[in-house]
Amino acid sequence: MAIHTAKVHDVLNGARTYGTTVLVDRLWPRGVKKDDLKPELWLKGVAPTPDLRKWFGHEPAKFEEFRKRYIAELDASEEKDLTLLLDASSRTPVTLLYGAADRDHNHAIVLAEWLEK
C-alpha cells in the first residue's frame, strides 16, 4: 500500500501525484477553482469532524493531541467515505490532497499514517 500526501496548491503548481488522487478536506480549498483541481475522489467524510477541526485550529502545539483525537474518530467511524478510501488504497497508490497551509501539522499526515497501519 502506497499512501502519499500533497498540498493542493503544490499539485496545481505541478507537484507529482501517485495513483488515485483523493481530496480529503471537508471544505473545498480556498482560492481553488473546481475546474483547476479535479481529484478522482472527494471524500469529505474522512476529514476530522468540524468540532475537532475548529478545536485544533492548525496550532502546532496541539498537533499531538489532535492526532490522538482524530485517530479515535477514524477508529470509531462507520463513514462510507472511509470504506471507499480503504478500498482504493488497497488496490492502487493513493495521493491524499489537502488544503492546509502547514505541511507538517495537518490531518492528511495522520490519515496517511492510519491507512498504512
> What confidence tens digit (pLDDT) does each residue in 8-44 have?
999 999 999 999 999 999 999 999 999 999 999 999 9
Long-range contacts of 9-13 (CB under 8 A, 24+ apart): 9/99, 11/37, 11/95, 11/97, 12/36, 12/37
The pLDDT value recorded for residue 117 is 87
- Contact in structure between 20 and 93 (CB atoms under 8 Å): yes
Which of helix, strand or coil describes residue 57? Answer: coil
Per the structure, the complete domain to which residue 105 belongs is given by 3-116
Beta-sheet strand order (sheet of 94-98): 3-7, 94-98, 20-23, 41-42
- Contact in structure between 24 and 114 (CB atoms under 8 Å): no
Pairing outcome for strands 94-98 and 20-23: parallel
Nearest CA-CA partner of 15 in 114, 103, 79, 107: 103
Q: How many domains does the chain have?
A: 1
pLDDT tens track for 74-107: 999 999 999 999 999 999 999 999 999 999 999 9
Residue type, position 96, single letter: L
